[in-house]
């Protein structure tokens, strides 16, 4: 169903199928990085709210794990369709809180939906193994089972697609989730809560909490009901999460800081090299984990490459991501 942008801009947390505020009543301001103006607030939740979200996910897991792969696939397909039906308004919301151009935001929503569709089908092909038995009267079967409640902590640079890559496989496998979106871009994460609710996922299967990164992160890492942590962000924070998760021996998936040299050799097609360099360096205003952090160019082509790259850089249109034709939006904040 086609909705308005405001419909997905939820200023509450989703816990056990209910949209709720923080126990303290405190909120966090969310600003448009293009204007610096406040666009809304979200709850400043802490340990208690996170614990309730985990408990809701654990309770939902008892029945969700028993659904068939086909049932889960059908719901994920509905989620994909709902995202594509609302691609434009979800992209607008993403641009308002994150700053990237509408074209990039629309592409991110499309890729998010594509991830969900892929996992919807892959979830139907989770096969086990038959292990040769040393006993003639016994068979050894290996089956794959959902791990349980997963915690997904997502970054602000790709607030929708990073979440798709985390909860997509979790839901397809029969796991339930507690999501902590970045405080700079919480609305894209909360929009996922609205979407899963509307397409028919049972309450508690997906929970979204915003607020204190330290308190929420501590509870997610130390609560024994959480069986897996998946995080995309800095290496420093990734190490900290691994350390905190050690006491409960959780499974962890970490996508941490990148290192991205761009090499140009003398026999390169200069125009194609420049086009590739512009994409690699300026995508999302350079705020990606694979953003080019140094150019290594052979001497024979150096001057020509630098001249053309400078010209291409000067031709980029900079401004608010909501303006037509803008290629470079603002940085997320002054940090």
Q: Is 307 a catalytic residue?
A: no
Q: Tell me the two tokens of residue 218.
A: 């501590």
DSSP single-letter state for residue 316: S
**And the tokens for 227?**
């069986």
The size of the chain, in residues, is 335
According to DSSP, the β-strands at 226-232 and 251-255 are parallel
Angle subtended at Cα 33 by Cα 27 and Cα 34, rounded to the nearest 5 degrees: 140
Separation CA 50–CA 57 (nearest Å): 11
- How is 127-177 classified by DSSP, letter by letter? --EEEPPSSTT--EEE------EEEEE--SSSTTHHHHHHHHHHHHHT-EE
* Cα-based angle 171, 215, 221 (whole degrees, multiple of 5): 50
Which residues have a Cβ under 8 Å from the Cβ of 47 and sit 6 or more positions away?
215, 216, 218, 219
Measured CA to CA, the distance from residue 73 to residue 87 in angstroms comes to: 21
Indicate the SS3 state at residue 69.
helix
Q: Which residues pair with 13 in a beta bridge?
A: 20
Active-site residue (options: 59, 122, 215, 289):
289
Q: Is 221 a catalytic residue?
A: no
Which residue is catalytic, options 255, 307, 324, 334? 255
**Active site residues per annotation:** 255, 289
């Amino acid at each position: 169903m086609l909705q308005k942008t405001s419909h997905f801009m939820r200023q509450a947390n989703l816990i056990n199928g209910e949209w709720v505020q923080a126990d303290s009543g405190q909120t966090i301001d969310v600003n448009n990085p293009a204007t610096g103006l406040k666009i809304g607030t979200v709850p400043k939740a802490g340990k208690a709210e996170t614990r309730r979200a985990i408990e809701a996910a654990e309770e939902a897991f008892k029945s969700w794990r028993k659904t068939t792969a086909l049932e889960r696939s059908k719901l994920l397909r509905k989620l994909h369709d709902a995202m594509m039906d609302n691609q434009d308004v979800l992209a607008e919301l993403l641009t308002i809180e994150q700053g990237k151009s509408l074209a990039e935001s629309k592409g991110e929503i499309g890729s998010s939906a594509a991830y969900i569709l892929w996992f919807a089908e892959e979830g139907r092909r989770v096969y086990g193994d038959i292990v040769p038995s040393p006993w003639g009267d016994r068979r050894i079967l290996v089956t794959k089972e959902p791990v349980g409640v997963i915690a997904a902590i997502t970054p602000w640079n790709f607030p929708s697609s990073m979440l798709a890559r985390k909860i997509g496989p979790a839901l397809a496998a029969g796991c339930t989730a507690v999501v902590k979106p970045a405080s700079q871009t919480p609305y894209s994460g909360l929009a996922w809560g609205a979407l899963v609710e509307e397409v028919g996922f049972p309450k508690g299967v997906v929970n979204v909490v915003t607020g204190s990164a330290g308190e929420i992160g501590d509870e997610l890492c130390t609560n024994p009901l959480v069986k897996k942590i998946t995080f995309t962000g800095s290496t420093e924070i990734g190490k900290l999460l691994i350390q905190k998760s050690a006491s409960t021996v959780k499974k962890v998936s970490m996508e941490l800081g990148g290192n991205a040299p761009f090499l140009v050799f003398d026999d390169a097609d200069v125009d194609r090299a420049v086009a590739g360099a512009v994409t690699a360096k300026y995508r999302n205003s350079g705020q990606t984990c694979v953003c080019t952090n140094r150019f290594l160019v052979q001497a024979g082509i150096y001057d020509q490459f630098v001249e053309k790259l400078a010209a291409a850089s000067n031709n980029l249109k900079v401004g608010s991501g909501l303006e037509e034709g803008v290629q470079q939006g603002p940085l997320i904040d002054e940090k």
